[in-house]
Amino acid sequence: MQGAGVVVNGRDRDALNVAAQRIPSAQFRDLIDAHLGTTFETCRAAAPLMVARGGSIVNTNSFALLGDCGGTGYPAGKGGVNGLTLAIAAELKEHGVRANVVCPGARRGCPPARTTRVTSRV
């Protein structure tokens, strides 16, 4: 192996506190793409390099995935990042590549009762 590499990937965008009944579909899709889509594109670009050289993908995320803040689209996109990271970890495991997601802390405005530590690792 030539040398291990690390990709740290994180994307954030303002959480629009719009309920499911009021958010336009286009705005919801935009939020999903801003969080989940950009994470996917970065992981997809990094995967061949990681398979060839070894390494780790670390996606950063947010506790908003718990659904307590950020309306509908923001937590849905953040929750998707966790699922995507688990799928990528399972896919690349046979190549010795790890993928992890880290939720480093509660975001301002989230209720403190739901700020438990959330990490996923395969």
Q: Which residue has the higher pLDDT, 47 or 75?
A: 47
Give the Cβ contact number of residue 62 at 10 Å.
25
**Entry pTM:** 0.75
Is 3.40.190.10 the CATH classification of the domain at 27-121? no
**pLDDT higher than threshold 70 for residue 45:** yes
Q: What are phi and psi of 7, to 5 degrees?
A: -115, 120
Q: Which residue has the higher pLDDT, 11 or 19?
A: 19
pLDDT for residue 117: 45
Residues with Cβ within 8 Å of residue 71, at least 6 apart in sequence: 15, 16, 17, 18, 19, 23
Question: What span, in angstroms and rounded, lies between the C-alpha atoms of 33 and 59?
Answer: 15
**pLDDT higher than threshold 90 for residue 24:** no
**pLDDT higher than threshold 70 for residue 116:** no
Contact 53, 60 (CB under 8 A): no
Q: What residues does each domain of the chain span? A: 27-121
Question: What span, in angstroms and rounded, lies between the C-alpha atoms of 23 and 43?
Answer: 28
